Amino acid sequence: MSRDRPQAPGRPGGAACTVQRKRPTGGTRALLLHGLANSSSVWDELTGSEAGGLDMWAAELPWGGGQSPAWAYGQDASRAVADALGQVPGGAGIVVAHSFSTVLLLDLLGEELARDGDPFARHGIEGLVLVSPFYRRDPESFEYGVVGDMLENFRRTMEEGIRVMAGPRLDPALRRDMAQRVCERVGPYGYLSFFRSYLRTPWLRTDLITVPSLVIGGEDDFTAVPAESTALAADLPDARCRFIPGAGHFPMVEQVDAFSAALGEFVDSIGCPVPAVVDQPA
Predicted local distance difference test score (pLDDT) of residue 16: 72
Crossing angle between the packed helical segments 78-85 and 100-114, to the nearest 10 degrees: 80
Residue 53: exposed, middle, or buried by beta-carbon count in 10 A (0-12, 13-18, 19+)? middle
How confident is the model over 75-88, as pLDDT tens digits? Answer: 689 999 999 999 99
- The overall average pLDDT reported for the chain is 90
Residue extents of the structural domains in the chain: 18-270
CA angle, 196 as apex, 231 and 166 as ends, to 5°? 80
Predicted local distance difference test score (pLDDT) of residue 7: 55
| pTM recorded for the entire structure | 0.91
Structurally, at CATH architecture level, domain 18-270 sits in: 3-Layer(aba) Sandwich (3.40)
How confident is the model over 161-207, as pLDDT tens digits? Answer: 998 888 778 888 999 999 999 999 999 999 999 999 999 999 999 99
Three-class DSSP category at 21: strand
Smallest Cα–Cα separation from 31: which of 105, 103, 100? 105
Kindly tell me if the per-residue pLDDT of 13 is higher than 70. no
